[in-house]
Amino acid sequence: MKKYFYYVAKMALIPVIFMSSCQNQQSKAVAENPAKTETKAETAEVKKINFDADSAFSYVAKQCDFGPRVPNSEAHRKCGDFLASELKRFGAEVIEQKADLKAYDGTVLKSKNIIGQFYPDKNRRVALFAHWDSRPFCDNDPNPANHRKPVMGANDGASGVGVLLEVARQIQANEPNIGIDIVFFDSEDYGTPQFYDGPEQEHTWCLGSQYWGRNPHYKTRPEFGILLDMVGGEMPEFKVDKVSYDFASAIVYKVWSKAAELKHDDVFKMEQGGFITDDHFYVNQLTMIPTVDIIDFNNERGFPETWHTVNDVLENIDKNTLRKVGEVVCGVIYSEK
């Protein structure tokens, strides 16, 4: 992703409005059928998941072992094959959605969205997204000599995929009440570099999600989606961006309230972020699946300091951050009835 803008919204009203509504509904449910409420609580306890951060980290490391996963590279091809095989190993029906996508400079990118469908016979479904490619340019690096080097993408790319691979492992071992579609988008990070002096173009980022949005794989549209992007850095701040707020406010509350319940509101902050062009923008616009973005963003610094630099490497990945994000994602999907 590249672009972000600040915005002003009455974010403080979100928890008040939704908490009031949910509390009223919960009180009504208890009054009408207390036994049913107790059964749900017992079911939720049975479905408690122990997300393994070491496992998630190992998946991040494995992707980095291939090298930068820049489209059209050997590292990209090998990593794509690995991701598809892992989803299959965890019991998913896998679709490899291949497409020739045109980059900002006319380069044809041999792209592949990798989709894993878990429990495809279940009609109620949730989609989990991340991008798996690496940026070909370290164009935000403080050293101009690095601007044309590829980004390793340990955080920006591999972290979201690593978390979702561990989620996939948990889904195989502990069947949820709903079906899950895990979608790894390609060619997200091949957008126009800062050093490019050609004509300004729109929609050069998130090419894989744009293609998927126009050619969705599903028969039954997922009820909502969660996108993970840069979810492995140290001291992250996962705030609510404007696209998530505008298109999926109910899902914002679902995810961020689950984070608070799990005592992860030290990093999941119900505060305003910027307008961020990321894969969820196109998912929301093209498919109308209400989708939120869990992304590390601070209004003062913008994206993490390692973003689009040579320092986006495995050594800067924090297992504790992976754990918190994974626990929130699992908490959300295993709370669905």
Which pLDDT score, from 0 to 100, does residue 39 have? Answer: 35
pLDDT tens by residue, 197-244: 999 899 999 999 999 999 999 999 999 999 999 999 999 999 999 999
pLDDT tens by residue, 142-154: 999 999 999 999 9
- Tokens 């994974």, residue? 326
pLDDT tens by residue, 240-256: 999 999 999 999 999 99
Assess contact for 171 and 122: CB atoms under 8 A. no
Quick check: is 29 in a domain? no
Alpha helices in the chain (DSSP H): 13-32, 34-46, 53-65, 74-89, 160-173, 207-214, 242-247, 249-261, 279-287, 319-333
> What is the rounded distance in angstroms from the CA atom of residue 295 to the CA atom of residue 303?
9
Rounded to an integer, the average pLDDT of 53-71 is: 99
Quick check: is 34 in a domain? no
- Residue 31 is classified by DSSP as H
- Residue 150 backbone zone (phi > 0: left; psi -120 to 50: alpha; other: beta): beta
**Would you call 203 helix, strand, or coil by DSSP?**
coil
Quick check: is 225 in a domain? yes
Which pLDDT score, from 0 to 100, does residue 47 have? Answer: 63
Q: Which of 206, 277, 318, 325 is nearest to 2 (CA)?
A: 277
Which pLDDT score, from 0 to 100, does residue 59 have? Answer: 99
pLDDT greater than 70 at residue 2 = no
> What is the rounded distance in angstroms from the CA atom of residue 224 to the CA atom of residue 291?
6
Looking at per-residue pLDDT, the higher value among 116 and 273 belongs to 116
> What is the rounded distance in angstroms from the CA atom of residue 208 to the CA atom of residue 97?
9
Which pLDDT score, from 0 to 100, does residue 194 have? Answer: 96
**The pair of three-digit structure tokens given for residue 166, joined into one six-digit string:** 């561990």
| Of the listed ranges 133-142, 167-176, 299-308, the one predicted with least confidence | 299-308
Assess contact for 192 and 153: CB atoms under 8 A. no
Q: Which of 100, 151, 171 is nearest to 310 (CA)?
A: 151
Which pLDDT score, from 0 to 100, does residue 42 have? Answer: 35
How many C-beta neighbours within 10 Å does residue 96 have?
12
* Burial of 13 per CB tally in 10 Å (0-12, 13-18, 19+): exposed
Here the CATH number for the domain that contains residue 92 is 3.40.630.10
pLDDT greater than 80 at residue 45 = no
Assess contact for 56 and 323: CB atoms under 8 A. yes
As a whole number, the mean pLDDT across the chain is 90
Quick check: is 229 in a domain? yes
**How many structural domains comprise the chain?**
1
Which pLDDT score, from 0 to 100, does residue 20 have? Answer: 36
* Burial of 16 per CB tally in 10 Å (0-12, 13-18, 19+): exposed
Quick check: is 153 in a domain? yes
| Of the listed ranges 49-58, 160-169, 226-235, 296-305, the one predicted with least confidence | 296-305
Assess contact for 160 and 230: CB atoms under 8 A. yes
Which pLDDT score, from 0 to 100, does residue 205 have? Answer: 98
Quick check: is 37 in a domain? no
- Residue 296 is classified by DSSP as B
Q: At what angle do helices 34-46 and 13-32 cross, to 10 degrees?
A: 120
Assess contact for 65 and 327: CB atoms under 8 A. no
79 Cβ neighbours under 8 A, 6+ residues apart: 63, 66, 69, 132
Q: Which residue range forms the structural domain that includes residue 99? A: 4-24+42-193+202-333
Q: How confident is the model at residue 48 (pLDDT cuts 50, 70, 90)?
A: confident
Which pLDDT score, from 0 to 100, does residue 299 have? Answer: 83
Which pLDDT score, from 0 to 100, does residue 156 have? Answer: 99
Quick check: is 315 in a domain? yes
Quick check: is 149 in a domain? yes
> What is the rounded distance in angstroms from the CA atom of residue 86 to the CA atom of residue 94?
10
Rounded to an integer, the average pLDDT of 87-109 is: 99
